[in-house]
Amino acid sequence: GAVVSQHPSRVICKSGTSVKIECRSLDFQATTMFWYRQFPKQSLMLMATSNEGSKATYEQGVEKDKFLINHASLTLSTLTVTSAHPEDSSFYICSAVLRDNEQFFGPGTRLTVL
């Protein structure tokens, strides 16, 4: 199957700092990527749809100014958590859409805000 990578896999930061998470499709081009967050023992919650060359579409209740998404190329989307606070601590996962519209997921990034 197709490979999607995320970097970093884990990050610990102080409250008030910004953190950037990268999502790359390694062996295919993806015009559409998705960003999810997952709380412990819960399912995935879609945050936003990232489209190459255009603005991201955010789900209801997700602050676009707090979670900045940039999809500058067909293989890279970034999520920046600005002015992070402890309640932003979570597991963030990205996915990329391949042919037949099958989604492939990255390994996730564990964010801990102190």
Partner 1 sequence: KQEVTQIPAALSVPEGENLVLNCSFTDSAIYNLQWFRQDPGKGLTSLLLIQSSQREQTSGRLNASLDKSSGRSTLYIAASQPGDSATYLCAVRWGGSEKLVFGKGMKLTVNP
Which residues sit at the interface with partner 1, rule CB under 8 A?
1, 4, 6, 32, 34, 42-44, 46, 49, 91, 93, 95, 97, 100-108, 110
Q: Residue 10 Cβ, how far from partner 1 at the closest point, in Å?
A: 10
Cα gap 29→97, rounded to integer Å:
9
Run of H or E including 41 = none
Q: Residue 6 Cβ, how far from partner 1 at the closest point, in Å?
A: 8
Q: Residue 16 Cβ, how far from partner 1 at the closest point, in Å?
A: 26
Which residue, 51 or 82, is less far from partner 1 as judged by CB? 51
Q: Work out whether strand 67-73 and strand 76-81 pair parallel, antiparallel, or are unpaired.
A: antiparallel
Which residue, 36 or 84, is less far from partner 1 as judged by CB? 36
What tokens were used for 20? 């950037």
Cα gap 88→94, rounded to integer Å:
16
